[in-house]
């Protein structure tokens, strides 16, 4: 099949987590013999920030790890019909301009033969629902939501069984344990500060326990304002700035453990959805300890794949155990790797996607006319 994906950016992963998953999925589709094209807008926010932060060499890790991937940039006046020409499946990520989302929908409404899917991998449906309401999705065949609680939001908006849960996963061709183990030290956290929506949680579950145990903590990520950097200094954490996602496996291989601290929206409003860092860390064979979140879909074997702490004191207890107990570290690594390899690789997600597409293309889930979105939120422009 010919598959077209309209993304915010394939080349840039600067504060753009969807690029992690998308690279693995498109690479696997290519390995399976499909014709894959990726489109991203010119002057994409993530790419502009990456180049400003790291320069052109900031793309080296991506290009080295994904030699089969390329993307085509398009401008505001692009001929969307020409870009979609010959496609069997077109996927449009939620971080796209509403005009692009609507324009591709008009092609489908006018009789284009491709299956058209909207891919949502963010909390905006609950944190900024007006941004999703701005999209004209009436002609879309379905929605791919990256968790059950997000899918439930779309069902309330009238999508019914035309929304499918499609979790993120690890690209195990890139995210894997080191070929040869070396000396490991301390604790690492790879994550962005963002808008401060988990600053208290980071102090409780990461900075405080690491300092109390004198573990040594290294931080990689972007969007750390002055006050965040001051907090890191106060806790004795070392900040290293942006890290290309393709370079993360090499960094994980240097540390004894890592921590998952979910954003507040994924604990309060969209429980059950882990970030892709959980999948990637486990795939790299690094012991993981998580702040609390509800694994309501049973994605993992909590307590075996990783440890979960209910509060800061329990986080310190778990981190101390991981630091001191080699057999515990080995057990966590083995269980985590097995879970990723049997359930949560990008190859698994490609199989799921192709099964969904096959079902829709046989007419079982055919386009049935405009959606009743009267229960949805009011219109507004998106705020990426």
Residues near 48 by beta carbon (within 8 Å), at least 6 away in sequence = none
Does residue 97 surpass a pLDDT of 60?
Answer: yes
Q: Average pLDDT in the 362-382 region?
A: 40
CA distance 237 to 187: 10
What number of residues does the chain have? 384
Instruction: Give 383 or 46, the one with higher predicted confidence.
Output: 46
Mean pLDDT of 322-331: 98
What is the pLDDT at residue 378? 31
Give me the sign of the Cα torsion angle 181, 185, 186, 192. negative
Percent of the chain with pLDDT over 70: 94
CA distance 21 to 344: 11
pLDDT tens, 115-141? 999 999 999 999 999 999 899 999 999
- Does the pLDDT value for residue 367 go beyond 60? no
pLDDT value, residue 209: 98
Rounded mean pLDDT, 166-193: 97
Stretch 218-243: mean pLDDT: 97
- Categorize the per-residue pLDDT at 343 as very low, low, confident or very high, splitting at 50, 70 and 90: very high
Which pLDDT score, from 0 to 100, does residue 383 have? 30
Give the residue with greater pLDDT, 365 vs 327: 327
Domain positions in the chain are 2-169+346-361, 185-343
- pLDDT at position 362: 81
H-state helical runs in the chain: 18-31, 45-54, 60-65, 80-84, 98-109, 124-127, 129-133, 148-156, 199-202, 208-212, 226-235, 248-252, 265-268, 276-283, 312-324, 326-343, 346-361
Answer whether residue 239 shows pLDDT above 90: yes
Q: Are 2-169+346-361 and 185-343 the same fold in CATH?
A: yes
**CATH 3.40.50.2000 matches 185-343:** yes
Average predicted confidence (pLDDT) for the chain: 93
Separation of alpha carbons 188 and 206, rounded Å? 10
Tens digit of each residue's pLDDT (9 = 90 or more) over 268-311: 989 999 989 999 999 999 999 999 999 999 999 999 999 999 99
Which CATH number, 1.20.120.330, 3.90.180.10, 2.40.30.10, 3.40.50.2000, labels domain 2-169+346-361? 3.40.50.2000
What confidence tier does 363 reach under pLDDT thresholds 50, 70, 90? low
Checking if the pLDDT of 364 tops 80, the result is no
Q: Is the pLDDT of residue 176 over 50?
A: yes
How large is the average pLDDT for residues 49-70?
97
N-term to C-term CA, the chain: 31
CA-wise closest residue to 277 among 238, 209, 266: 266
Strand partners, 306: 302
Report the pLDDT averaged over residues 333-362: 95
**Close Cβ partners of 267 (under 8 Å, ≥ 6 residues apart):** 292, 293, 294
Per-residue pLDDT at 365 = 43
Torsional class of 2: left (φ above 0), alpha (ψ -120 to 50), beta (otherwise): beta
């Amino acid at each position: 099949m010919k598959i077209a994906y309209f993304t915010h950016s394939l080349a840039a992963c600067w504060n753009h987590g969807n690029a992690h998953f998308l690279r693995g999925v498109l690479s696997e589709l290519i390995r399976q013999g499909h014709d894959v094209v990726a489109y991203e807008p010119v002057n994409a926010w993530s790419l502009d920030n990456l180049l400003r932060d790291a320069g052109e060499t900031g793309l080296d890790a991506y290009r080295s790890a994904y030699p089969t991937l390329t993307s085509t940039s398009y401008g505001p006046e692009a001929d969307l019909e020409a870009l979609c020409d010959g496609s069997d499946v077109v996927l449009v990520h939620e971080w796209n301009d509403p005009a692009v989302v609507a324009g591709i929908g008009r092609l489908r409404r006018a009789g284009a033969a491709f299956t058209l899917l909207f891919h949502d991998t963010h909390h905006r449906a609950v944190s900024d629902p007006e941004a999703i309401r701005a999209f004209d999705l009436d002609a879309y065949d379905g929605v791919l939501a990256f968790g059950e609680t997000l899918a439930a939001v779309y069902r309330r908006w009238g999508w019914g069984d035309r929304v499918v849960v499609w979790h993120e996963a690890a690209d195990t061709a890139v995210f894997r344990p080191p070929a040869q183990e070396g000396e490991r030290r301390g604790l690492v956290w790879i994550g962005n500060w963002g808008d401060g929506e988990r600053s208290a949680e980071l102090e409780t579950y990461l900075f405080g326990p690491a300092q109390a145990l004198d573990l040594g903590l290294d931080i990689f990520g972007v969007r750390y304002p002055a006050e965040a950097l001051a907090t890191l200094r106060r806790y004795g954490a070392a900040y290293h700035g942006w890290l290309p996602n393709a370079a993360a496996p090499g960094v994980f291989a240097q540390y004894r453990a890592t921590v998952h601290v979910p954003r507040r929206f994924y604990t309060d409003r969209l429980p059950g959805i882990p970030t892709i860092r959980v999948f990637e860390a486990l795939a790299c064979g690094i012991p993981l300890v998580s702040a609390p979140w509800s694994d309501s879909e049973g994605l993992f074997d909590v307590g075996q794949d990783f440890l979960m702490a209910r509060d800061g004191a329990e986080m310190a207890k778990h981190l101390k155990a991981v630091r001191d107990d080699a057999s515990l570290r080995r057990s966590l690594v083995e269980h985590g790797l097995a879970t990723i390899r049997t359930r949560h690789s990008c190859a698994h997600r490609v199989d799921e996607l192709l099964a969904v597409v096959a079902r829709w293309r046989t007419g079982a889930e055919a386009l049935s006319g405009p959606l009743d979105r009267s229960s949805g939120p009011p219109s507004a422009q998106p705020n990426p």
